[in-house]
Chain A
Amino acid sequence: MKTMLEVDNLWFKYEDRYILKGISLKLFEGENLIILGGSGGGKSTILRVLLGLEEVDKGKIIIMGEDVTHLREDEWFGVRKKIGMVFQDGALFDFLSVRGNVGYRLYEQRLPQDEIEKIVREKLRIVGLEDVIDYMPSELSGGMKRRVAIARALVGDPPIMFYDEPTTGLDPITAKIIVRHINSLRDKFGVASIVVTHELNYAYMLADRIMMLKDGTFIFEGKSEDLVKCADPYIKEFVK
């Protein structure tokens, strides 16, 4: 299987405290990798670091064969085209409509209007929200915002997707819709995804592989069924 992303012995410090302490991971093509862990354990920080939003202290990040560990901000912009990021709560631009949000990247590239419209509608169709194209983010529900954020991240057809707590705060039905979308991106388009969550039920529905983070280090890596059987007291308590 093709390695899409590789992290080796990564350390990250915020103020005087190490948030990530020498983590290593690999993400393969067409795989959903779930990073589980409690609140404040550094899960979201992993995504921020992998996206170049934070600078690492030590270690190595390789994205699709390119060492991106110490890139400058302007060099990161090219790398980020290969990655779609869905932030917690969506992080939609509240001054732009759904069309403006989803087509943001394309407007920045100054593509022709009709081409932008076509791509925006296509991505919104994937998440089942074509009819809200003219809405403002303030008019959308929490679940719709996440789905629009997924549509926005899909523009440019990135081979890698990151999801930060995609189901948190949503009702079970909406959360399952999000889960279905993430799985269908893997199944239909072979997208490799890292999903950060603390919600076990949805993690099981999504996972090809699970990694458990505690205090900045991974304490488990394996399949869902192995996680349930794990003897580690923290994991036992977590999955109980």
Chain B
Amino acid sequence: MYGFILHLQNITLLFWDILKGLFSRPFYWEDLLKEMDALGVDSLPITVLTGIFLGLVLTLQAAIGVEKIGAVSLVPRAVAMSLVREIGPVMGSLMIAGRVGAGITSQVGSMKVTFQLDAMRSLGTDPLRKLILPKFLAITIMLPLLIIILDFIGLLSAYFMASINLNIGSVLFWNEVINTNGFVNIINAFIKSFVFGTIIGLIGNYYGLISEGGTEGVGISTTRSVIVIFVSILAADFVLTKIFYELMI
């Protein structure tokens, strides 16, 4: 329990330092753009693949439930609702967290145990601003955008599955999707993925910074980082869903 509280305290302090870094100089714009490319754009293949398979599976799952009562027209609504509000942000974030969270921890951790972070400080650069902040900000900005792409790809693949397997026409499908996914649902997904991105950036960096004990230590930190990110995303999802439920949005 003591260890948990200590980690929580240190993560909070790191978050505070990052926030302070956001509003003071120097700010490394070039590094931010590079990280947005490395953490965000390079995550597109995994995002697209996740979207495709989620759309296909959700359509079939929804069909199993409603086909027996002859209500296949409910499939688009069920898929759109679950994909955009819940499954897309959560599954997409978990998939991207596996790649990005592990990547951040292993890179920062390797630099820590080989004294590259100390070398950076000795050369007059603050690693928090140069390294940590751009990574944090990059995934926080890019994850919501990736999730929107995932949702769109997911809906496209759901449409193809619905039209081929369930003979649902395009007018019916897209009308249902638009009627279901109002602006509120998209905002809902956006807020969730923004929070999940913050979690990935914060915890990924934190576990990198506390790495010690050579390459073996970096491996242990990376494993812990991914586990903590996964559990934190699921916990945050519950909290956010509860808040949205209470606010009826």
Max chain A CB contacts within 10 Å: which of B110, B111, B122, B124? B122
A140 at the A/B interface (Cβ < 8 Å)?
no
- Against B, the Cβ 8 Å flags (1 = close, 0 = not) of A56-84 are 00000000000000000110111011010
A80 and B123 contacting across the interface, CB-CB below 8 Å? yes
Nearest CB to that of B118 among chain A residues?
Answer: A53
Q: Say yes or no: A48-B118 contact (C-beta < 8 A), given A77-B126, A108-B124.
A: yes
Kindly report which residue of chain A lies nearest to residue B130, judged by CB atoms.
A108
Chain B, interface size category, equals 10 to 19
Q: How many A-B residue pairs have CB under 8 A?
A: 53
Tell whether, in the assembled complex, residue A91 and residue B114 are in contact, meaning their CB atoms are under 8 Å apart.
yes
Quick check: B124 and A105 within 8 Å, CB to CB? Answer: yes
Q: Is the CB of B126 within 8 A of A152?
A: no
Query: Which residues on the B side are within 8 Å of A94 (C-beta)?
Result: 110-111, 114, 116
Query: In the complex, how many angstroms separate the beta carbon of B13 from the nearest chain A beta carbon?
Result: 14
Residues in A neighbouring B120, C-beta threshold 8 A: 93
User: A85–B121 Cα gap in the complex (Å)?
Assistant: 10
- Alpha-carbon separation in the docked complex, A80 to B123 (Å): 7
**Interface residue? B125 (CB, 8 A):** yes
User: Does B49 lie at the interface of the complex (its beta carbon under 8 Å from any beta carbon of A)?
Assistant: no
Please report the C-alpha to C-alpha distance between residue A85 and residue B125 in the assembled complex, in whole angstroms: 14
B243 adjacent to chain A (CB < 8 Å): no
**In the complex, A152→B110 CA distance in Å?**
20
Smallest CB–CB gap between A240 and chain B, Å?
Answer: 32
Q: What residue of chain B has the Cβ atom nearest to residue A108's Cβ?
A: B125
In the bound complex, CA of A87 to CA of B121 (Å): 12
B119 interface residue per 8 A CB criterion: yes
Out of A73, A87, A89, name the residue touching B126 (CB < 8 Å): A73
CB-CB under 8 A from A53, the residues of chain B are 118, 121-122
- Smallest Cβ-Cβ distance to B107: which chain A residue: A95
Q: By the criterion CB–CB under 8 Å, are B126 and A74 in contact?
A: yes
Q: Flag if A89 contacts B123 (CB, 8 Å).
A: no
In the assembled complex, the Cα of A94 lies from the Cα of B121 at a distance in Å of 16
- Asked if residues A152 and B118 are in contact (CB atoms below 8 Å), the reply is no
- Contact among B111, B122, B125 with A83 in the assembled complex (CB-CB below 8 Å): B122
Q: Which of these, B115, B116, B123, B126, contacts A105 with CB under 8 Å? A: B123
From B110, B114, B116, B121, give the contact of A80 (CB < 8 A). Answer: B121
| Residues in A neighbouring B116, C-beta threshold 8 A | 91-94
Interfacial chain A residues near B125, Cβ < 8 Å: 77, 104, 108
A191 to B37, CA, bound (A): 43
A88 contacts the other chain (CB 8 A): yes
Asked if A51 is at the interface (CB within 8 A of a chain B CB), the reply is yes
What is the CA–CA distance of A88 and B116 in the complex, to the nearest angstrom? 11
Contact with A along B100-114 (1 / 0, CB 8 A): 000000000011001
From 154 to 168 in chain B, residues with beta carbon under 8 angstroms from any chain A beta carbon are none
Determine whether the beta carbon of B119 is less than 8 Å from that of A108: no
A77 to B121, CA, bound (A): 7
- Taking CB atoms and an 8 Å cut-off, the chain A residues in 31-61 that contact chain B are 48, 51-53
Instruction: A78-B124, A85-B119, A94-B111 are known; give 20 further A-B pairs, CB within 8 A.
Output: A51-B122, A53-B122, A73-B121, A74-B126, A80-B124, A81-B124, A87-B118, A87-B119, A89-B114, A89-B115, A91-B115, A91-B116, A91-B118, A92-B116, A93-B120, A94-B110, A105-B123, A105-B124, A108-B123, A108-B124
Q: What are 21 A-B contacts defined by CB distance under 8 Å?
A: A48-B118, A51-B122, A52-B121, A53-B121, A53-B122, A73-B126, A77-B124, A78-B124, A80-B121, A80-B123, A83-B122, A89-B114, A89-B115, A93-B119, A93-B120, A94-B111, A94-B116, A104-B123, A105-B123, A108-B123, A152-B123
